[in-house]
Amino acid sequence: MARSNDEIAALFQEYADLISITGGDAFKARVYEKAARAIGGHHAAVDKLDAKGLQEIPGVGKSIAEKVVEYFREGSVSAVEELRAKVPAGVRQLTAIPTLGPKKALVLHEELGISSVEELADAIHAERLRDLKGFGPRTEENILHGIELLQSSGDRVLLDVALDLAEDTVAALSGVTGCRRCAYAGSLRRFRETIGDIDVLVAADRPTPLMRAFTELPYVTEVIAQGEKKTSVRTSRGLAIDLRVVPPDSWGAALLYFTGSKAHNIRIREIAVHQGLKLSEYGLFDAESGERIVSATEEDVYARLGLPWIEPTLREDRGEIEAGQRDELPDLVTESGIRGDLHTHTDLTDGLAPLENMVRAAAERGYAYYAITDHGPDLSMQRMTDERMLAQRDRVRALDRTFGKRGGMRLLHGAELNIAPDGGVDWPGDFLAGFDLCVASVHSHFDQGREALTRRLVRACENPYVNVIGHPTTRILGKRPGIDADLDEVFAACARTGTALEVNAHPDRLDLRDEDILRARRHGVKFAIDSDAHSLLHLSHMRYGVGTAQRGWLTEEDVINTWPYTRLRRFLDKGGRGRRHSAAGRDGSDRISLNQP
């Protein structure tokens, strides 16, 4: 189900867009954008808070709190409805296109009468946009790519949205009398980055009570089809769920069959046929006699076909069958194997929670180490200065002494540096030498040429103070494509310089994607799976990064934040090239130093 926080976050983001479209106060738009982020990342459900409690959320003042209260009391907010009435629905539809901002959408509507995505595509192909100020061939190309992104996403949702809904459904059905086993399957079990619909599987002798309970779930809005073996519904999230009930003794075969992928299942069935067998959701059968051989568990089915059990995240027919036959399947990284988080933010820059709260939440997750990496000064909107960063370092060192006692969690003071168009970063080498680690990321100038973007990333890798390249392709799922760089050249540079690539666990990024991880791994690259947390809730995003890393066949040996603290520190030294170590203690003077690159 949708969290009340997510509803309000979406409403205020829309309000900010409407303010921009109508030429309203830019500062006011930014205030509501910030409030949307703050509410979306707040731990407590906002529909349970009064106006006073709402104002305790950073970035939420009296006026914003009153709008939240109004929404849950009236079902709408009058100020939002007034702006909606001023903006044609077609313009609001255009703003859903990645790369097309609200102001340009309004210009297209006012100047050319465009009020739908289809009309916009036709106008671009007819070259009607080129006479408008600010619209050239490159803009047309970007908009067309944005339309492709929008259309390709279709009714698909992000992994975290689907997983929340699936887990709610599994929990509800598991409590129904007669349910022997219940699990989600399909692409969700394989941790695909976006999900079209959810497959839920139940083992029970009597399907009817399960089907009835399923259709009566509070978030079910429509029963699409209902039968004894399968029922399909649509939910308030716009996401469809298919429930299948199978006999308990068919559980393993059914779970394998409905997990997929299609390509993996075809390969498994081919192996069965070559052995004179037939595989279905009800079991593995002798093709001649029809006798069922095995069906109770996935392990039984795989073993009878001469294979070890294969992790669902590997089942894409990308070599897992052959690796299984050779007994060479990787021992995949798991969330329990993650010892720390190396990319997180506080309210010193664009995070929502104070340093102490983030550190405490990380300790509660059982981490052995934890890094704070707020933004450097190149992102001017973050208002970072040398003095503010050094003051934070003092606080981190003090907290490290507290949390690090008796083998507890160690704290690393880092920064997320901005990779400039020429590949430079925020600070000179003598200042960077004071950090325990540096994550460097591209945050702007995404439309540079392929060669320039490649040089930009390679130069960042070659900087002796850059330890991790953050969200390497900069993509945002369904909203922004990845940059056009020669990734193989970047991967080779990472392997050569000892720079890790991030698997950014935020569900709207999941960057690197699984296919890129597979390629980078072949270059010998090491990886960091990071939450990029901007709030306490975001720390739990680690699970999505781990799932993506598994899809890229990563093991604990590949992932630097599964390593013990001492080994991690050696890696962060990037081999000690050109660096001088002092013998001082934990006051920060034990950090490496180097002449400026």
Which of 363 and 32 is assigned the larger pLDDT? 363
CB contact set of 17 (below 8 Å; sequence gap of 6+): 29, 92, 95, 102
Average pLDDT for residues 375-404, to the nearest whole number?
A: 90
Say if residue 596's pLDDT is above 60: no
Q: Give pLDDT, residue 3.
A: 67
Among the residue ranges 135-144, 158-167, 299-308, 430-439, the one predicted with the least confidence is 135-144
Q: Are 237 and 219 in contact (CB under 8 A)?
A: yes
Give CA–CA dist 211/509, Å, rounded: 36
Q: Give pLDDT, residue 33.
A: 83
State pLDDT tens for residues 392-419.
999 999 999 998 876 789 999 999 999 9
Question: Both tokens of residue 484?
Answer: 């056009």
Say if residue 382's pLDDT is above 80: no
Domains by residue range for the chain, with CATH: 4-153 (1.10.150.110), 157-246 (3.30.460.10), 261-325 (3.30.210.10), 335-576 (3.20.20.140)
- Residue-by-residue DSSP string for 275-320: TTEEEETTEEEETTT--EEE-S-HHHHHHHTT-----GGGTTTSSH
Q: Give pLDDT, residue 585.
A: 32
Confidence of residue 587 (pLDDT cuts 50, 70, 90): very low
Q: What percent of the chain has pLDDT over 70?
A: 93
CB contact set of 183 (below 8 Å; sequence gap of 6+): 170, 189, 200, 201, 255
Average pLDDT for residues 360-385, to the nearest whole number?
A: 91
Average pLDDT for residues 468-481, to the nearest whole number?
A: 92
Average pLDDT for residues 180-198, to the nearest whole number?
A: 95
Q: Give pLDDT, residue 346.
A: 95
State pLDDT tens for residues 137-166.
777 777 887 777 766 655 688 999 999 999
Give CA–CA dist 363/356, Å, rounded: 11
Among the residue ranges 300-309, 326-335, 474-483, the one predicted with the least confidence is 474-483
Average pLDDT for residues 374-380, to the nearest whole number?
A: 88
Phi, psi angle pair for 526, to nearest 5°: -100, 160
Confidence of residue 583 (pLDDT cuts 50, 70, 90): very low
Q: Give pLDDT, residue 355.
A: 96
Q: Tokens 């939420």 correspond to what residue?
A: 60
Give CA–CA dist 51/65, Å, rounded: 5
State pLDDT tens for residues 517-558.
999 999 999 999 999 999 998 999 999 999 999 999 999 999
Say if residue 343's pLDDT is above 90: yes
Q: Give pLDDT, residue 200.
A: 97
Average pLDDT for residues 484-490, to the nearest whole number?
A: 95
The vertex-505 CA angle with 101 and 157, nearest 5°, equals 55
Q: Give pLDDT, residue 579.
A: 44
Say if residue 304's pLDDT is above 60: yes
Over the chain, what is the mean pLDDT?
88
Q: Give pLDDT, residue 350.
A: 87
Confidence of residue 576 (pLDDT cuts 50, 70, 90): low
Q: Tokens 């990342």 correspond to what residue?
A: 41
User: Helices marked H in 404-468 — which ranges?
Assistant: 429-432, 450-462
Confidence of residue 586 (pLDDT cuts 50, 70, 90): very low
Say if residue 338's pLDDT is above 90: yes
CB contact set of 507 (below 8 Å; sequence gap of 6+): 158, 159, 160, 161, 477, 541, 544
Give CA–CA dist 2/338, Å, rounded: 29
Question: Both tokens of residue 35?
Answer: 């409030």
Give CA–CA dist 186/240, Å, rounded: 13
Q: Are 418 and 412 in contact (CB under 8 A)?
A: no
Peptide bond preceding 531: is omega within 30 degrees of 0, i.e. cis? no
Give the highest mean pLDDT range of 20-34, 40-54, 59-73.
59-73
Give CA–CA dist 75/67, Å, rounded: 11
In three state form, how does the secondary structure of 458-473 look? HHHHHCCCCCEECCCC
Confidence of residue 575 (pLDDT cuts 50, 70, 90): low
Q: Give pLDDT, residue 174.
A: 96
Helix (H, G, I), strand (E, B) or coil at 573: coil
Q: Tokens 């900010």 correspond to what residue?
A: 16
Q: Give pLDDT, residue 214.
A: 96
